[in-house]
Structure 1
Amino acid sequence: METASRLLLAVCFTVMLCSGTGTATKFEEQFNVVWSSSNNILTYDDSKEVELSLTKAGGANFQSSDFYLYGAFSVKLKLIRGESAGTVTAFYLTSFGKNHDEIDFEFLGNETGEPYTLHTNLFVNGTGGREQRVKLWFDPTADFHTYTIIWNHYQILWLVDYIPIRFHRNLEHIYPGSYPHTRPMVASACLFDASEWATQDGTKPVKWEHAPFVVKYKNFAFDACAVLPDGSTPCNNNYRANWWEGLYYQMLDQQRRDQLMWVVSKWKIYDYCYDNKRYPKAPKEPLECQYNVPWVWE
């Protein structure tokens, strides 16, 4: 399904990988280790790969040295092969503090032979509860695949191999507190034990006899507005000049809407907007939900 929209985004990231912030020659020039058990982060500067492992001693977490306010963030991932129940691999943006913002990709481990679940979520001003889940339509352990977050003044896009799987519109003018727009975020990656919830609602914990569990990241590409130490960012003055703020990324055209509809109809397995137990008035509430479906666009 090599569409024009996928090709356009791929070209943007090809340029970025050659000349953008994703070209730091060494891991330590671009990232800081947040926590890690011994030898649970291995970096290969020549191949731009970072390998995380999870053992009984723990997993690992690293984050970008820079904070960003809007941009396009991409990474290639190869997930844990075979038995991975109870594990979570993540690539996400996050600020810090009680009222933090966060935009998530989380890959929920599975028992051998079962498909991976991709869990996405959004936190705004410390409030999450906006989970969606899809089954991936390929084996994410066999090869690297590209996962992208585009966060601009108009919407957030989650993309898998340049196919949109979710979007969230900026509705701050209608529903304040529903869109991250003031707090700079780092780009972060981690691998951790989530036995209590990750696989089949926590009924399938990590089986440590299969450890170490290994996931590989490579080709981080952040074409984004870095925030300076004084809290300013050059993007404030002319943010519309950035390619990720262009008209193509302000809304979904028919082609990408069709792609998203394909994902929703064939692969989505959970959407908070339709969870009547958590939100008795769903699908009309939470109120943002009625604006974030591919068949509704103003």
Structure 2
Amino acid sequence: MESKSVILILFASLIATASAGNFYKDFDITWGDGRGKILNNGNLLTLSLDKTSGSGFQSKNEYIFGKIDMQLKLVPGNSAGTVTAYYLSSQGPNHDEIDFEFLGNVSGQPYTLHTNVFSQGKGGREQQFKLWFDPTANFHTYSILWNPQRIIFSVDGTPIREFKNSESIGVAFPKNQPMRIYSSLWNADDWATQGGRVKTDWSKAPFTAAYRNFNANACVWSKGRSSCKSSSAASKTNNANWFTQEMDSTSQARMKWVQKNYMIYNYCADTQRFPQGLPKECRAA
């Protein structure tokens, strides 16, 4: 289907929004041999990792644009070598993907939040941050706003990164492939903590991350079409808002504050990695 047709169908169908989710209804535990669990009548999900295996889940629905929120409480204590990934992705070699990855740490050191955007199979757009709070002490909300103009990553409502649609200068943007929500907890001690210098301490296993309060103000993709359904007028307003949402001056200032104080890597500033010139979208920013 032509991308313009997809957007027109979506815009015409933006009459509502999905309500707060239930893990039994919205997700499947896809691997881990019992290490992933849905608890508390579907209001809590946990993933665990031990020396034998990690675990993961995926959404039952595919989405095409939306505002996705999930509260996570990350692995506490010495989580070095572990990675908790929470992301949107389509399938296939030319897949699109929008990533949050939380790289474990030695006790007392901050987690590294790794973000990336893939479009048409091309990634390499990493930005990394040190979180300004302990993400293991309480639940915090990690959000992805995805509309035809931009992708905005937020933490507890504070935007930390924006990836704009730069198709006008030849940069592919994720907008034609529906994506599922995925999460996994797995061992990556060959690279995750201090470049692989710190290995997983299996005496601390099992490692466990917890999820709650999933919410998708998003359009569900089914049989080649999008559907957004809800009964509340407030939901209809919110849905229309995210489809055209952009950051106001206050949000831009908050994002700049995060990037100035907590960003530790930005591919758009890595001139050694790109000696022939930074990627087009970096030069256009």
**TM norm structure 1:** 0.83
CA contact (8 A) 1:47 1:218 kept: no
For 1:255 and 1:241, the matched residues in 2 are separated by: 21
Post-superposition CA distance 1:221-250 (Å, at most 9, x none): 11111111x211146xxxx9622023xx23
Structure 2 residue aligned with 1:242 = 240
Structure 2 residue aligned with 1:279 = 274
- Say how many residue pairs are matched: 262
Supply the AA of the counterpart residue of 1:233.
S
- Partner residue of 2:216 out of 215, 222, 226: 222
* Greater CA drift, 268-277 or 126-135: 268-277
Structure 2 residue aligned with 1:5 = none
Post-superposition CA distance 1:11-67 (Å, at most 9, x none): xxxxx9xx834333xx3321122211x321111143611011100111111110111
CA contact (8 A) 2:166 2:281 kept: yes
Quote the offset at 1:207 in angstroms: 1.1
For 1:290 and 1:218, the matched residues in 2 are separated by: 38
For 2:180 and 2:31, the matched residues in 1 are separated by: 15
Spell out the pairing of 1:148-167 with structure 2 (5 A cutoff).
148-167=143-162
Structure 2 residue aligned with 1:56 = 51
Structure 2 residues not aligned, in runs of 5+: 1-15, 229-237
Supply the AA of the counterpart residue of 1:22.
A
Structure 1 residue aligned with 2:102 = 107
Quote the offset at 1:291 in angstroms: 3.5
- Partner residue of 2:139 out of 137, 144, 150: 144
Q: 1:32 to 1:46 in 2, by over 3 A?
A: closer
For 2:26 and 2:180, the matched residues in 1 are separated by: 11
CA contact (8 A) 2:84 2:186 kept: yes
Question: Secondary structure of the residue that 1:23 maps to in structure 2?
Answer: coil
Structure 2 residue aligned with 1:211 = 205
Structure 2 residue aligned with 1:168 = 163
CA contact (8 A) 1:78 1:141 kept: yes
Is structure 2 residue 254 aligned with structure 1 residue 256?
Answer: no
Post-superposition CA distance 1:39-96 (Å, at most 9, x none): 2111114361101110011111111011111001010010111100010011100001
Q: 1:241 to 1:259 in 2, by over 3 A?
A: closer
For 1:32 and 1:51, the matched residues in 2 are separated by: 12
Is structure 2 residue 82 aligned with structure 1 residue 87?
Answer: yes
Structure 1 residues not aligned, in runs of 5+: 1-15, 293-298
- The alignment's C-alpha RMSD in Å is 1.9
For 1:39 and 1:259, the matched residues in 2 are separated by: 40
- Partner residue of 1:185 out of 173, 179, 183: 179
Structure 1 residue aligned with 2:24 = 28
**TM norm structure 2:** 0.87
